[in-house]
Amino acid sequence: MATERYAVETRGITRVFESRKGFLFREKTRTEALKGVDLAVESGSIFGLLGPNGAGKTTLTKILSTLLIPTGGRAEVLGHDVVAEAEWLRPRIGLVLGGERGLYNRINAKDNLRYFADLYGVPVAERERRIDEVLARVDLSWAAERRVEEYSRGMKQKLHIARGILHRPQILFLDEPTIGLDPKSARETRKLIRSLVGDGVSIFLTTHYMFEAEELCRDIAVLTKGRVVAHDSVPGLRHLVGGDRTLEAESHGFDDREVESLRHLPGVSKVVSEEYGPWLRLTLRVRTSETTPDDVRGALPGHPDLMVRERQTSLEDVYLDLVEEEAA
């Protein structure tokens, strides 16, 4: 199924979790975390997976990194089946999960990496050199002998990434790599992620931060309720939800006739109404350049307090449109 072009391909991946609850655990519950996921991720790129909490992002990441077996469907990573060929894949996969677990706090960074190097099968003759290389890569050489419990959260995240690339994986799975980091640490982490692609590593990234996905990722998929509802480049996703341009009109109120007049302006694909305290905001997605802020003002006479502004449709706009549409 997979080719050299794709680092990841999935067809109809499902995952069901079953558990028991109630008196004597007699009541059986069934949760569908993934409901037929189809994806194709190009090699040598940074791919972003977005979705709300509970959408199935971590479940899919664990399946692709061979930590979890799918209930149905088929997934291949680097052209190899994640179930039948898991042993072949594991030395070629790097995984960095969000949070601070997975490191040994009472020993220093080098000793942590020595342990993981042995676990990953890094040859003993190369181990020390490779540890020095990855610590330098994540800018932690200066703290190599410090115990990890003395590290800041940002430093721990860098060490997680060092651990993830220690064995030179061909694909790296990053699950919320900048969650909880201060802006400076998050920026440094994003810079590090970009640099890894230059080494030929394919990166599969999950994140809640829209600006991060927009900055890093060539292609993005939106996962919600266990299904992929969109998969495209950022410009393609903007087109999918109605255009690159967004016009916003704010006043103390609009009647239905005024809203309907906006829907008929050239190139307008969608009008959304939102309350902001005493103000009402109308958001227009616009496919073409025909409709301008002046056209919006002309369609809304009699509002001396009217404010109209234009901006580029953001990835956050796209994401909210897609998730809200799926929830409707």
Q: How confident is the model at residue 2 (pLDDT cuts 50, 70, 90)?
A: very low
Q: What is the pTM of this model?
A: 0.86
- Residues 143, 280 within the same domain: no
List the CATH number of the domain containing 62. 3.40.50.300
Single residue among 175, 210, 236 that ends a domain in this structure: 236
- Residues 213, 256 within the same domain: no
Query: Residue 324: inside a domain, yes or no?
Result: no
- What mean pLDDT do residues 205-211 have? 89
- Residues 28, 125 within the same domain: yes
Query: Residue 323: inside a domain, yes or no?
Result: no
Query: Residue 18: inside a domain, yes or no?
Result: yes
Query: Residue 318: inside a domain, yes or no?
Result: no
Q: Are strands 279-286 and 245-251 parallel, antiparallel or unpaired?
A: antiparallel
- Residues 276, 162 within the same domain: no
Query: Residue 130: inside a domain, yes or no?
Result: yes
- What mean pLDDT do residues 117-145 have? 94
Residue 67 has which token pair?
């930590």
Render the burial of 41-78: b for 16+ CB within 10 Å, e for the rest.
bebbbbbbbbbbeebbbbbbbbbbbbbbebeebbbbbb
Query: Could you read off the pLDDT of 273-282 as tens digits, one per residue?
Result: 888 878 899 9
Q: How confident is the model at residue 1 (pLDDT cuts 50, 70, 90)?
A: very low
| pLDDT in the model for residue 265 | 94
Single residue among 180, 203, 236 that ends a domain in this structure: 236
Q: How confident is the model at residue 189 (pLDDT cuts 50, 70, 90)?
A: confident
List the CATH number of the domain containing 247. 3.30.70.2730
Q: Residue 208 above 90 pLDDT?
A: no
- Residues 40, 70 within the same domain: yes
Q: Which of 106-120, 262-276, 311-325 has the highest mean pLDDT?
A: 106-120
- Residues 200, 303 within the same domain: no
Query: Could you read off the pLDDT of 107-119 as tens digits, one per residue?
Result: 999 999 999 999 9
- Residues 43, 191 within the same domain: yes
Single residue among 236, 254, 273 that ends a domain in this structure: 236
C-alpha of 126 from chain center: 33
- Residues 176, 301 within the same domain: no
Q: Residue 34 above 60 pLDDT?
A: yes
Q: What is the residue range of 210's domain? A: 6-236
- Residues 127, 194 within the same domain: yes
User: Would you call 102 exposed, middle or buried from its count of C-beta atoms within 10 A (0-12, 13-18, 19+)?
Assistant: middle
Query: Residue 1: inside a domain, yes or no?
Result: no
Query: Residue 26: inside a domain, yes or no?
Result: yes
| pLDDT in the model for residue 125 | 94
- Residues 184, 288 within the same domain: no
Q: Residue 328 above 70 pLDDT?
A: no
Query: Residue 172: inside a domain, yes or no?
Result: yes
Quick check: 161 and 195 in contact, CB under 8 A?
Answer: no
Q: Residue 27 above 80 pLDDT?
A: no
- Residues 218, 193 within the same domain: yes
pLDDT mean across residues, the chain: 90
Give the chain's domain count: 2
Render the burial of 111-149: b for 16+ CB within 10 Å, e for the rest.
bbbbebbeebebeeeebeebbeebbebbebeebbeeebe
- Residues 117, 213 within the same domain: yes
